[in-house]
Structure 1
């Protein structure tokens, strides 16, 4: 039962008139095929080790489900092969990684007219994705001789932004789920990415992550190895165009009532987003900032349908949130479950789960997601906060 104090806070945080601009789904697959021995699957083979989207899936989501937003994953180690190092030199020949990624983004944004969130799925690490999220050197870690520098991260973002600067429907996501690193360093890496994107002449919306896997529930808390709360540093970001929002992830489950980890691996939902996001919402309001929940999910059961509905209703009621993307569709999931218990399945239309039953697109989506898709989403113009 919520305390009276919490009920009062939640009510106060829901008074504003909100408008969600971007609503959709993650497209996961560009980060596939690398687990195990370091170097496995690099650079990999397109369509075998990794793939970005099924165009027919994007068509279904846009034409039938009327969403307007896709978060599309890739690996920095494939975009910038290890022999080059992180920076402005991209993989142009070996499996044509950039061109295949650009084709996916162009199908979403040019062919279908939706918005695409570019997602380097690297946990703010580079050089060894073999055991994500924990392998690889933290970008900017000056005590690690194998680590890419913050300056190199800026060079990478400058080049990537230059290539998409004229596509108004791109959104730049700085990095997926930084964690277990100094929050000051995340601020430095975020800031150099923002500076590089703007220096490249790209005016589009940027999403900046925080620490602790950029979790909304822990935004004002110490995370990792006594790392400072994201709330102490992320309000220091500076964007000359004032077109940067905060990138948040928020899962709803725990393991059999014993272990709360917000990892998205559990079938039952027990963590109410309205309560867990309340401190973040207040922080956003106090700092005049906006946020996008770019990862969340729930299992295939009525309990999770209710928790997802509560979350999306909360986001729609609070002006601090401008969008969301649920995890995850993607061309290579097959019968595997990307989220929330082994039997949920993916959000890829027409697939089955591991039990040979319809996947989350046939169950979670119509029961919890489809009813919360606004009819007045942003359909034109440069990606922005309004």
Structure 2
């Protein structure tokens, strides 16, 4: 009877682990279970020293929300990724900043009037969150919007929030920083929130150089009639980007990819395939690992990529499923989930 009981428990536990792996939530399960023994908690805390390594294989976004279960959650790669990108890729739309406390999400809805007042007065609204500083125009991207935190914040998270925010404000070089409640009422500046948001998301996702290549000439923002949110970005009459509703990030269109290829040198965002793969990828077929010649080392899983031939000619756009080290070491499997091919080379 005891042996049968143990077998059932082991089978049940293995099924639970498989489910968490399939859902991309294994780290969350480890955080829940680590409280059962001090040695397990110590092992989890040691992962913090390997966060940079783990960030390389962390998908850009996931289907589910990120759950914060304790101070150990701060060692998860999305926290490091946000801190790096907001420090390196954010370009303020004004020279002054107004900081707001964390609140309900999305922040642009909870603080709608306060953010509008700050913009009119010439201030960039910035929310201090458990992820660190979140500029108002980035409040709907993954995982900033797709995360759940307890209302009572632990001391370690508060200290990290304050440190990250201080470093961010210092690096941005704002002329003035005030509390959100101190924003003057008489601001009269005009601004376009959609243009600010569209460009900021592109900077965060693709980088400043790629954004400069994408956003040129006359920019038109197409919004959803139902939600009022950004759906498409048109530049000089060309559809370059579409914004995904689930994670608030962009899908790269062929016209946008060609602009990046033209202005940003290789291997940025590229996955180069051999001649055997060219006709298939051009027609929208996936790019497989055994046909990849080279790819950008900075590409992360689920990131938008540009598939090119050996001469850096555009073939298709898609989303990477693996990083370079994985692709180059595998002989089977999909490297890029191709979305749209050129078709002219078929």
Task: Establish whether TM, by shorter chain, passes 0.5.
Answer: no
Higher helix share: 2
Over alpha carbons, which structure has the higher Rg? 2
Higher strand share: 2
TM-score under structure 1 length normalisation: 0.26
With CA pairs under 8 Å and 6+ residues apart, which has the higher RCO, 1 or 2?
1
